Structure 1
Amino acid sequence: MSLRLSTVILPVRRWSEGGREQWHHAEALGFHTAYTYDHLSWRTFRDGPWFGAVPTLTAAAAATETLRLGTLVTSPNFRHPVTLAKDLISLDDVSGGRITLGIGAGGNGFDASTLLMGGEEPWTPRERADRFGEFVPLLDRLLTEDSVTHDGTFYSANEARNIPGCVQRPRLPFAVAGNGPRGMKLAARYGQAWVTTGDPKIFETGTPAESREAIRGQIEKLGKACAELGRDVAGLDKILLTGFTPDRNQPLDSLDAFVDFAGRHAELGITEIVIHAPIPDSDFATDQAVFEKIATEALAQLR
């Protein structure tokens, strides 16, 4: 697989005040996919504007023609498989089959507890993994079968109908985020892609070399999970969402820095690298001109 370059557009701008233009510009720059986060809000953006992922992607689908679109990532923290499936089928239809679902177990950020009842404890990592383990197979069924009935531990569906199904067949692709054994098994069984942000344990104190070695180890474990199912890991895209490795956003300091970063990760087996669209006065306050130079010139240099 050749390396692809994609971007993340955080939903922080009103559609009429630069929001639409960002998605249109991402298409013009030649990105493979433009993703957005599926959160109720996120970290340092908590007290500022933040719009919903599904309406944003619907508008983006209408504003673009060829650009793939997706979430990076959706989680059970605030989604139910039945209603999510209906939204995804609609999105896939509006976009003409250009939607990828990035999906993960979710974290423990402040918005993870927004829907909890009074006195209800936040989910533990194990419970998030348990829910995710039921969420993904059920969503797979909902997107491929006309009618689904399911009575599970966490989710239920009573003759949930999803006709006519996805434009993409048998369903839109899943990009599964997960570095633990259970997440990787889900990626191996249900994913068309696997997503990593690197190893969070070394984000603060590790080195870029240690990060690459950790990602190499993750890909080896993914390969074992695929082999157990009789699947060739080479057929699974491997997506790196940047900004969360020890070098932070340094790869976006210049075209040369990015080409070096991307080349080293392509050697590990990464097939898609995702960079954040610049947001002034934030963790993603990279130079717009450099961002555009990377978008238009980096892949040619890597080839």
Structure 2
Amino acid sequence: MSLRLSTVILPVDRWHEGGRAKWQRAEELGFHAAYTYDHLSWRTFRDGPWFGALPTLTAAATATDRLRLGTLVTSPNFRHPVTLAKELISLDDISGGRVTLGIGAGGNGFDATALGQEAWTPKERADRFGEFVPLLDRLLTEGAVSQKGDFYTAEEARNIPGCVQRPRLPFAVAATGPRGLRLAARYGQAWVTTGDPKLYETGTPEQSVEALRGQVEKLGKACAESGRDVAELDKILLTGFTPDRGRPLESVNAFVDFAGRHQELGFTEIVIHWPIPDSDFAADQAVFERIATEGLRQLG
């Protein structure tokens, strides 16, 4: 499968003061997809402007025609499957079937306790995620769903007419642990990773490649155990969180080298952050746009 290039546009701009223009420019540049983070606030941006993911994606759907749209990623931290399903079906309809749901177990910090709950342990997050994904799958594929779980309940939840994409919009499941990888193998049309977070501060690019190789192998084993061919899943790398950090965006050649090494591991989609000045995602806009238009062509 040929490599695709996508971008992630953080929701930090007012729609009429640069927000719309970024999504339209992403389509003009030929990106496969443009994603956004589904958070209430996030890291160094938490004291500045930050808009909601699904309204932003809805606006982007009306401002573009071809670009795929999605979240990287939605989590149970402040979402419920019943209400999320209704919003996703609406977004899929408005976009004409261009939505991918990036979905993960979530993490601590930032907005994880914004609704007043205590911070969940990794096991508690995995428990909730393990119930969240199957219920959301049902809600997006069945007209009426009733289910009582340990964490989430649906009572005659109606979702007619369902998704434009059939049998439902695709899930891109973010996971590195065994339980999450089993969910990706069972329910995912794609798998998402940011690399090994333990290597971010002190690891090397070479160590990161080997860690990612191991993650891909574990995904393959999870798929085999589920009776599924791992080749059926797209494999998405969200960049910016490996030891390379922003180096792949320093030049077209740097990007081509980075993308080629990860394509060899089996990745089918690379996601780069739209530049934001004076932030962790600062980059030269002109270089970024050259990467978008020339990078994959140079990769061959």
Shorter-chain TM-score: what band?
over 0.9
Say which SS state the counterpart of residue 113 (structure 1) adopts: coil
Say which SS state the counterpart of residue 155 (structure 2) adopts: strand
Counterpart pick for 2:219 among 222, 231, 238: 222
User: In 2, distance between residues paired with 1:123 and 1:234?
Assistant: 33
Say which SS state the counterpart of residue 268 (structure 1) adopts: coil
User: In 2, distance between residues paired with 1:18 and 1:132?
Assistant: 35
Residue 140 (structure 1) aligns with = 137
Shift of the alpha carbon at 1:201?
1.0
Residue 85 (structure 1) aligns with = 85
User: In 2, distance between residues paired with 1:70 and 1:296?
Assistant: 21
User: In 1, distance between residues paired with 2:110 and 2:193?
Assistant: 21
2:248 equivalent to 1:289 = no
Shift of the alpha carbon at 1:235?
1.0
Q: What are the within-5 Å matches in structure 2 for residues 146-161 of structure 1?
A: 146-161=143-158
Say which SS state the counterpart of residue 110 (structure 1) adopts: coil
What is the TM-score with the length of structure 2 in the denominator? 0.99
Cα RMSD of the aligned pairs, angstroms, is: 0.5
Shift of the alpha carbon at 1:294?
0.2
Q: What are the within-5 Å matches in structure 2 for residues 57-76 of structure 1?
A: 57-76=57-76
2:269 equivalent to 1:272 = yes
Residue 3 (structure 1) aligns with = 3
Moved segments of 4+, more than 2 Å: none
Shift of the alpha carbon at 1:121?
2.4
Say which SS state the counterpart of residue 172 (structure 1) adopts: coil
User: In 2, distance between residues paired with 1:199 and 1:89?
Assistant: 33
User: In 1, distance between residues paired with 2:284 and 2:32?
Assistant: 21
Say which SS state the counterpart of residue 35 (structure 2) adopts: strand
User: In 2, distance between residues paired with 1:121 and 1:77?
Assistant: 11
Residue 252 (structure 1) aligns with = 249
Say which SS state the counterpart of residue 107 (structure 2) adopts: coil
User: In 2, distance between residues paired with 1:128 and 1:50?
Assistant: 24
Say which SS state the counterpart of residue 240 (structure 1) adopts: strand
Shift of the alpha carbon at 1:124?
0.7
Counterpart pick for 1:197 among 194, 210, 214: 194
Say which SS state the counterpart of residue 71 (structure 2) adopts: strand
Shift of the alpha carbon at 1:31?
0.1
One-letter amino acid matched to 1:32: H
One-letter amino acid matched to 1:86: K
Shift of the alpha carbon at 1:21?
0.2
Say which SS state the counterpart of residue 7 (structure 1) adopts: strand
One-letter amino acid matched to 1:104: G
Segments of structure 2 that go 5 or more residues without pairing to the other structure are none
2:167 equivalent to 1:178 = no
Say which SS state the counterpart of residue 111 (structure 2) adopts: helix
One-letter amino acid matched to 1:95: S
User: In 2, distance between residues paired with 1:48 and 1:134?
Assistant: 33
User: In 1, distance between residues paired with 2:70 and 2:198?
Assistant: 27
Residue 41 (structure 2) aligns with = 41
Residue 206 (structure 1) aligns with = 203
Residue 163 (structure 2) aligns with = 166
One-letter amino acid matched to 2:235: K
One-letter amino acid matched to 2:245: R
Identical aligned residues as a percent: 82
User: In 2, distance between residues paired with 1:175 and 1:282?
Assistant: 27
> Please, which moves more after superposition, 161-170 or 103-112?
103-112
Say which SS state the counterpart of residue 141 (structure 2) adopts: coil
Shift of the alpha carbon at 1:109?
1.6
What is the TM-score with the length of structure 1 in the denominator? 0.98
